[in-house]
Amino acid sequence: MDKFRIEGGHPLQGEIPVSGAKNSALPALAACLLTSEPVKLRRIPPVRDVRTMEQLLEYSGAQLEREDGALTVRAAKLDRPEAPYDLVKTMRASSLVLGPLVARTGRARVSMPGGCAIGARPINLHVAALEQLGARIEQSHGYVEARAEDGLRGALVHFDRITVTGTEDLLMAAVLARGETVIRNAAREPEVQDLAALLNEMGARIEGAGTSTIRVEGVASLHGADHAIIADRIEAGTFLIAGAITGGDLVVTGCDPDHVDALVVKLRQAGADVAEISPGALRVRSSGRPRPVDITTEEFPGFATDLQAQYMALMTLATGISFITETIFENRFMHTQELARMGANIRVEGRQAIVAGVPELTGAQVIASDLRASASLVLAGLVARGQTMIDRVYHIDRGYEKIEEKLARAGARIERVS
């Protein structure tokens, strides 16, 4: 099992490029199941969750071809419209194939999602939405089975609470449903907008993506497309925090500044200098300890829950007390115990972490509990005095493309060891 060895205390300098968004690539790959024609996807990040989704598409009967950094999916025939447990047990996004499979083939059998232990992501929201489109759904033995032999029909769907994957799943089902589907309280994330853009390129009729109300006029079939995935805003945010926490002078390239606005505001309040120096390039500079700045995670365009752990690493060194409130997932403070091993002073009370900044962190042996928690430990290790060893880095491999190589090229003393 691989580990990261980090020698802290080296400010990051130079440039770090941002890869394509994992959370956009996964629904885009699932959308390829909606057509028999080839779909070419560019900027697909070769991270573990994406590889798992690719294997799932191949299991269902699709053919994949990689060439010049692009991936072409040909789902001409889907012999096995299912997602077995052994294949998707490490990935939360397995439910994304439920909608497109039942829309395209009239049936789907999908294992309940696995992945990070950061709290419940109930699939009941997906299920209830698809039932409103006419699917008959049963849940048993850890699987969700959906049937709609006569096809799906449009409906008005109001999500009880905002769900990104639920919005994406329903969107993919609705494009082939008869009539109009209206999705209210829809997720507004950039990844939802990117999926809608791809589907429209494939011949779908979607309006309102990026707002809380999305309208879909169903079509009889979709065709192929050539689409580039958006930049990974969580990776971009992680690197911006890395530049700030190490007191460096770092340029994060290939990102979309509009997608990290909420983080940039907080970094500036904490004392970092963040500026867009050219299209898609953000420069972050800082010196000294950050000022304490509170955050509350929210759905987009609010502060992303996927950046909460990384931001907490920054606040462990603040010159006072900060309050970090997590509203999306109920169990996303597991990294606090590992940060405490490095000298952080954090008290958790329900969904709020109270962080009293300390003058320095010290290297220690720590264990990554989930994808974003592992990123927070990497950031802490970059600035901690001495050596940090991070175990279970397979978590970080699920969502970051060669993060240790990117950081090392910017001056970090980090290496992967087996």
Residues serving a catalytic function are 116
In contact, 338 and 369? CB cutoff 8 Å = yes
| CA proximity to 18, closest of 235, 228, 215, 211 | 235
Q: How wide is the angle at C-alpha 51 spanned by C-alphas 48 and 54, nearest 5°?
A: 155
Q: Backbone phi, then psi, for 199, in 5-degree steps? A: -60, -40
In contact, 233 and 190? CB cutoff 8 Å = yes
| CA proximity to 416, closest of 42, 4, 1, 138 | 4
Q: β-strand 225-228 against 295-296: which pairing, if any? A: unpaired
| Helix/strand/coil for 60 | helix
Both tokens assigned to 75: 């789902």
| Helix/strand/coil for 128 | helix
DSSP-assigned states of every residue in 95-112: GGGHHHHHHHHSEEEEEP
CB count in 10 Å sphere of residue 283: 18
Q: Backbone phi, then psi, for 263, in 5-degree steps? A: -70, -45
Both tokens assigned to 277: 């120096």
